[in-house]
Amino acid sequence: MGKETVGSTVAELRTADEAVLVESARSGDMNAFSRLVVQYQDRVLNTCWRISGCLEDAEDLAQETFLKALESIATFRRKSCFYTWLFRIAVNVSISHRRRKGRRPRLSLYCGDGQSDGMDPPASEAQAPDPAARLTAMETRQLVEEGLDALDDDHRSVIVLRDIEGFDYQQIAEILELPVGTVKSRLHRARMELRDRLKRVLKV
């Protein structure tokens, strides 16, 4: 069995397992729902963080996402995958929150000694050989975060889903309920805009 086949099989089993969990949750099995929470909490949290632009709010938003999912899981249509449905909620919750709060000056939550509760420092910072290099890496990260934060919601969402959460175009299309072609063009425009903002630090 080739590697790809093994991977596909694992993915299929995972999907099947998830489908069982979702079905159980729909019929009121809260252990099943809690397993789904545990399975997706990290990714939902990061999605909320990067779209809302605020780690402090992200935890609340992740909670909100799961609460909303629980509220409406009985009405969840099995036409789409559970995770696309869940991330759609996460995206909508985060964008709504951002609009509600309005755009505000962004403060980095990753500063000082480079450690922050519950956050993995990027490899570029953790492995930097000397303090100066680490500082540069941190500044770069901060600029990237600011650049991402400056994008409009549509562009930020598509970049977060693709480049941070690693969804493919088809999955992003399902999450955002857009045609795949729109996802493709929107992602390219978003990256171009971000590239323009990051030209100074990208050094290419």
Partner 1 sequence: MSDDRRRELETQLSAYLDGELGLAERRAVEALLETDEEARALLKQLRATVEAVRGLPRARASERLIESLRARMERQSLLEGRPVPGRTADGGRSYRKWMAVAAAIGLVVGAGYLAWPWAQEWIARPGQQYALRLDERQHEHLAEQGLPDRAPGAADEERMAGAPPAAAPVEQPVADAAVDRALARTAPTERRVPMAKPADDKVEAAAEHSDEFTAFFARPSADSTVLEATFADAVSRRAAVTWLREEYAFQPVSPPGQPLETASLEVRVPDVQSARRVVSSLRQTLSADNLRIVSREDAPPLPVVVQQEPAVAALSDASSRSFEMVDSSDGEEKAAMRVDARHKAAFEGRAGVAVRSADDGQGAHGASSAPAASIARRPMRASLPDTAITDAATRSAPALGTEIEQVETEPSLRSPAAAPTSQPFQRLATESRHAPLPYTLWLYIHVEPPATAPADVNPPASPDE
Shortest distance in whole angstroms from residue 107 CB to partner 1: 15
29: which 2 tokens?
Answer: 């099995």
Q: Binding residue for partner 1 (CB under 8 A) from 18, 21, 49, 94?
A: 49
Q: Between 79 and 108, how does the x/- string for binding to partner 1 read (CB under 8 A)?
A: ------------------------------
181 Cβ neighbours under 8 A, 6+ residues apart: none
The interaxial angle of helices 82-101 and 3-26, nearest 10 deg, is: 70
Contact 194, 151 (CB under 8 A): yes
Among 51, 90, 161, 194, binds partner 1 (CB under 8 A): 194
CA distance 24 to 95: 30
Tokens of 80: 């789409």
Closer CB to partner 1, 41 or 96, in the complex: 41
Q: How far apart are the first and last CA of the chain?
A: 41
Contacts with partner 1 by CB under 8 A lie at: 28, 30-31, 33-35, 37-38, 41-42, 44-46, 49-50, 55, 58-60, 62-63, 66-67, 70-72, 74-75, 110, 116-125, 140-141, 144-145, 148, 159, 162-164, 168-169, 184-185, 187-188, 191-192, 194-195, 198-199, 201-204
